Amino acid sequence: MKKMIMVLASAMTIAACGPRQTRVPAIDLTNLDNSVSPAEDFYQYATGGWQKKNPLKPEYARFGSFDQLSETNIERLNELFKDMTTMKTERGSVEQKISDLYKQGLDSVKLNSDGAAPLKGILDKIYAVNDKVGLVELVADMHNSGQGGFFGAYVGSDMVDSDSQILYFGQGGLGIGDRDYYVKPENAALKEGYRAFLEKVFALAGNPEPKKASMNALAVEDVLAENSWDSIKERDVEAQYNVYSSETLQESFPGFDWNAYLTRRGVPSQEKLVVGEPDVFEKFGQYFANEDLAILKDYLAARVISGAANSLSDDFYAASFDFFSTQMSGVKEPRPRWKRAMQVPNGILGQAVGKMYVERYFPASSKEKMIILVDNLKKAFGQHIDALDWMGDETKAKAHEKLDNFIVKIGYPDEWKDYSTLDIDPAKSYYENIMAARKWSVADNLSKLGKPTDRTEWGMSPQTVNAYYNPSTNEICFPAAILQPPFFNPDADDAVNYGGIGVVIGHEMSHGFDDQGRLFDSKGNMSGWWTDEDDAKFKAKAKVLADQFDAVEVLPAKDGQPALMANGQLCLGENIGDHGGLSIAYSAMRNAIAGNDPGLIDGFTPDQRFYLSYGAIWAQNITDQEKARRTRLDVHSLAVNRVNVSIRNFQSFFDAFGIKEGDPMWRPESERVHIW
């Protein structure tokens, strides 16, 4: 069971939105590629100049406008952290915690001197276990410390009673992250690369038989993968809501002592909890009971070592980088140590950093303008609901109710997260402090069990260039850092801003009505508010959109391997978000300029500028390895398809650029889809 938060993009980056020193052009004409017609390849036309000016840096597998925005702010936050290291900080203050984590991440001499020593305690504990009872307790201890193994468990809003917080269990425990890497023959080379990585880090950690240990660990992951649901089935929200109690959990999934596990984790007996994939847990229990103890211990040791690699000496980091970055994504060089070091406190103490960030870089005027934009998008969405020819009045009324009850979060939270109980001790190792932070975060999550849902809580830090929709609270959230070009530019005309931040707003609103979000009502409860007829019509339209993406070739056939095709079903929710965002934002833009059309600006009409702005958001360069990885794992389509496939459903796009039948970008009306 995965926590459901639908985000705009798969990578969360940070960027500055403080006072601008120079005026940013609304449309940067040098970002265009005028050698290509928009009727031939709109993405290349709209972003080809940007791609040429921003060749892929060796430390990136994918570098786009998101990443470009982050570069300046990474440097600014780094200066902020450096300033803290020179000031006298009080023990226990957030400044002390940030600066000590940052300094430890920079201290390569200490990290290399420590080597594998920080792992000794936990590895000794793993290999000292002499029975399955002890192994169950060990798994619970690892989960309490934020370490993976076999499955996942977390506290979240009850999907049918969103005011309550309950415990969820879900499949997991795979080091590469997705079952297809283990079970599909075309991924055999990467799978062997992963095994070799495990052998390398086992050796670095002092295991006397690293090859045997790596093979044992991979054998366990193979079994977990074979029994796991695939990524498409995992998107079936209703199928993942399976209610048990602590008592029936043990009865239903014997072979693993669930009562001992919950007791060790400090979780009292539960009358209601949810298991995402019952057949997976049934098979896991049987496997756990019968597998050799030594093999299971090697697997857990692998999870610990792999998870620690980036927090240890350079040889551990190099092994991890070689597999997870170079082999899987095509990254040629590691990021500089200072960038890696600053991201740790930025992640662990995200809201503490965010508080400092907004005080320095987020003007109140940006929040005020965003409130207006959100209101305009809500009005446009309401107009679209009224105009739908495929939805009945009963369902429309419920859709309006949901739209009217969106919780809108902009900029930063009203109350900041309290990190006072998190102890970062400079006398301890970097890894120990990171583990302390993970343990603190897990305890923070478990503390919510049985309590009312806090609808004011934020799922992203303010310095994140992204946005999200959470169906269990029916909220849309736009952190401070997204309010900057190319998303939002106070110097730009309406067409550009609606094509940028307007589509982002519409995208998140549309998540409330995508194939998953639509199952939840205005209170965030999974309920059947659709009539059967409207439900069937929605599914038919969604299938058309999925089929459009399924038909796209991502990478051609090579070396005997079949061509890699896009996965329209995996990305359906995000593609509906883009589809709805474009449709709704376009209407909001036309509403905004009604009676006051500015005419040509830079030689482009408002409609042209709207679509060029949308293209600019997704400008990027990317390696073939990263294209393949994201196509297999990511619920977001590749940038080129988020543009070229999505916009070909709108007559306004064809009219804007004079695209006609026979042009590569043309799509006949009979093959288009109109959802929201």
DSSP label at residue 249: H
Distance of CA 395 to the CA centre of its chain: 30
Which residue matches tokens 């890699």?
A: 564
The pair of three-digit structure tokens given for residue 42, joined into one six-digit string? 């709109």
Tens digit of each residue's pLDDT (9 = 90 or more) over 492-505: 999 999 999 999 99
Quick check: helix, strand or coil at residue 277?
A: coil
- pLDDT for 15 equals 34
pTM of this prediction?
0.94
Q: For 328-381, what is each residue's pLDDT tens digit? A: 999 999 999 999 999 999 999 999 999 999 988 888 888 888 899 999 999 999
Name the pLDDT band for 22 (thresholds 50, 70, 90): low
The span from the CA of 667 to the CA of 299, in Å, is 50
Q: Show the beta-strand stretches assigned E in 466-589.
A: 468-470, 475-479, 553-555, 564-565
Q: What is the mean pLDDT of residues 395-410?
A: 97
pLDDT at 176 over 90: yes
460 Cβ contact partners less than 8 Å away, ≥ 6 residues apart: 7, 12, 466, 467, 468, 477, 479
Q: How far apart are CA 220 and CA 178, in angstroms?
A: 14
Residue 269 pLDDT more than 80?
yes
Among 668, 670, 665, 673, CA closest to 643: 665
pLDDT at 241 over 50: yes
Q: Three-state secondary structure along 12-60?
A: CECCCCCCCCCCCCCCCHHHCCCCCCCCCCHHHHHHHHHHHHCCCCCCC
Q: pLDDT over 90 for what percent of the chain?
A: 87
Query: Quick one: pLDDT band at residue 19, thresholds 50, 70, 90?
Result: very low
User: Helix or strand or coil: residue 204?
Assistant: helix
How many Å apart are CA 524 and CA 163, to the nearest integer? 9
For 564-590, what is the mean pLDDT? 97
The residue to which tokens 């366990």 are assigned? 220
Local structure of residue 176 (DSSP, 8 states): S
Q: Which residues contact 628 (CB under 8 A, 6 or more apart)?
A: 554, 555, 564
Edge-first strand order for the sheet with 161-171 is 151-158, 161-171, 273-275, 243-244
Q: Name the residue with tokens 């539960």.
A: 270
- Distance in angstroms (rounded) separating the CA atoms of residues 490 and 26: 9
Q: For residues 284 and 300, give the distance between their C-alpha atoms in angstroms, rounded to a whole number.
A: 15
Q: Is the pLDDT of residue 83 over 90?
A: no
Is 70 exceeded by the pLDDT of residue 483? yes
pLDDT at 91: 93
pLDDT at 601 exceeding the cut of 50: yes
What's the average model confidence in pLDDT over 400-415? 96
The alpha carbon of 617 is separated from its chain's Cα centroid by a whole number of angstroms, namely: 17
| Start-to-end Cα distance in the chain | 28
Is 644 in contact with 665 (CB distance < 8 Å)? yes
As given in the structure block, the two tokens for residue 209 are 């038989």
Q: What DSSP assignment string belongs to 398-416?
A: HHHHHHHT-EEEEES-SSP
**pLDDT tier at 85, thresholds 50, 70, 90:** confident
Flag whether pLDDT at 17 surpasses 70.
Answer: no
Kindly tell me if the per-residue pLDDT of 228 is higher than 80. Answer: yes
Mean pLDDT of the chain: 94
For residue 228, give the H/E element and its range: none
Residue 382 structure tokens? 């309401």
Q: Do 239 and 516 touch, CB atoms closer than 8 A? A: no
Nearest to 366 by CA among 412, 403, 407: 412
Give the helix ranges, DSSP H, for 253-292: 258-264, 278-290
Residue whose structure tokens are 């610990």: 304
Q: Which residues pair with 161 in a beta bridge?
A: 158
The percentage of residues in the chain with a pLDDT greater than 70, rounded to a whole number, is: 97
pLDDT for position 650: 98
Greatest Cα pair distance in the chain: 78
Helix H or strand E segment including 295: helix 293-308
The per-residue pLDDT for 3 is 65
How many angstroms separate the CA atoms of 206 and 118, rounded? 12
Residue 598, pLDDT > 90, answer yes
Q: Which two tokens stand for residue 83?
A: 């300033």
Q: Which CATH superfamily is domain 117-311 in?
A: Neutral endopeptidase , domain2 (1.10.1380.10)
> pLDDT of 649-664, one tens digit each?
999 999 999 999 999 9
At residue 20, does pLDDT exceed 60?
A: no
* Confidence (pLDDT) at 18: 40
pLDDT tens-digit profile of 28-42? 999 999 999 999 999
Q: What DSSP state is assigned to residue 558?
A: B
Give the tens place of pLDDT for each residue, 417-462. Answer: 999 999 999 999 999 999 999 999 999 999 999 999 999 999 999 9
CA dist., res. 218 & res. 240, Å (int)? 27
Place of tokens 């009604």: 594
Q: How far apart are CA 413 and CA 357, in angstroms?
A: 13
Give the dihedral sign, CA 483/485/486/490: positive
| pLDDT of 580 higher than 80 | yes
Around Cβ 290, how many Cβ atoms within 10 Å?
Answer: 8
Q: How many CB atoms lie within 10 A of CB 291?
A: 17
- In this structure, what DSSP letter does residue 459 have? S
Beta strand residue intervals within 240-396, DSSP E: 243-244, 273-275
Domains 30-78+348-412+458-671 and 117-311 share a fold: no
DSSP 490: T
The CA-atom distances, in angstroms, between 168 and each of 271, 310, 438, 536, 592 are: 13, 29, 19, 30, 44
Q: What are phi and psi of 475, to 5 degrees?
A: -120, 150
Give the confidence band of 46 by pLDDT, cuts at 50, 70, 90: very high
The alpha helices in 87-177, defined as continuous H runs, are 94-106, 108-114, 120-128, 132-144
Domain ranges of the chain: 30-78+348-412+458-671, 117-311
Question: How much is the pLDDT for 2?
Answer: 57
Question: What topology does CATH give the domain 30-78+348-412+458-671?
Answer: Collagenase (Catalytic Domain) (3.40.390)
